[in-house]
Amino acid sequence: MKIKEVIIVEGRDDTTAIRRAVDADTIETNGSAIPPSVLERIRHAQDKRGVIILTDPDYPGQRIRQIVQDHVPGCKHAFIDRQDALKKNGRGIGVEHASPEVIREALKQAHHMVEEVVEQISKEDLLETGLIGGPKAKERREKLGARLRIGYANGKQLYNRLLMFQISHEEFVREMTAILQEEQNV
């Protein structure tokens, strides 16, 4: 599988994992203190070929994703679920631990961003479904992020991702209904 876009990753081990899964070029940020020269290379890559951000499903990975998105708007995003990025012994999390199949699926999902106009989800929808401000909010956000393949996020970031990926109100309601039913059946 050849990827046209340049994939933004955190480090050398991530590049190795990406190249085991697909034929692609990467730019490594080497942490969240991204130098201006690296941000300029990412901007240039976005202008020439497009960019897909694929960072670890943890706080530093989310911070890197946000820094790149703030400096280089219009990037595509690929997400790997936390459980798919865990080191075999459970000590460590990162793209480098994901299987080639998981990486290919995440990159494929980045290419399937919806392009039609959809009814948008409101912040009230997040409140009503207990995704923010409730005792099970974090757990529900984790489940919803996994089901929609948009990754885990806090309430504000979840709202932004739902809009960015143009998740339809219908899809949101369907997935939240399933999550709430699972909770009742436990």
Report pLDDT digits (tens) over 5-62: 999 999 999 999 999 999 999 999 998 899 999 999 999 999 988 999 999 999 999 9
Look at the chain and report how many structural domains it folds into: 2
Q: Same structural domain for residues 97 and 21?
A: yes
The per-residue pLDDT for range 58-85, each reduced to its tens digit, is 999 999 999 999 999 999 999 999 899 9
CB atoms inside a 10 Å sphere around CB 87: 11
Q: Same structural domain for residues 164 and 133?
A: yes
* Domain assignment of residue 141, yes or no: yes
Q: Same structural domain for residues 99 and 10?
A: yes
In the chain, what is the straight-line distance between the N-terminal and C-terminal CA atoms, in Å?
Answer: 40
Rg of the chain in Å (alpha carbons): 17
Q: 176: domain range?
A: 123-185
Q: What is the CATH number of the domain that holds 26?
A: 3.40.1360.10
> Which of 111, 143, 162 corresponds to the end of one domain?
111
- Report helix, strand or coil for 28: strand
Q: Would you place residue 134 in the very low, low, confident or very high pLDDT band (cuts 50, 70, 90)? A: confident
Distances 156 to 32, 139, 171 between C-alpha atoms, Å:
21, 15, 19
Provide the CA 119 distance to its chain's centre, in angstroms. 22
> Which of 111, 134, 168 corresponds to the end of one domain?
111
Q: Same structural domain for residues 15 and 78?
A: yes
Is 140 buried (19+), middle (13-18) or exposed (0-12) by CB count in 10 A? buried
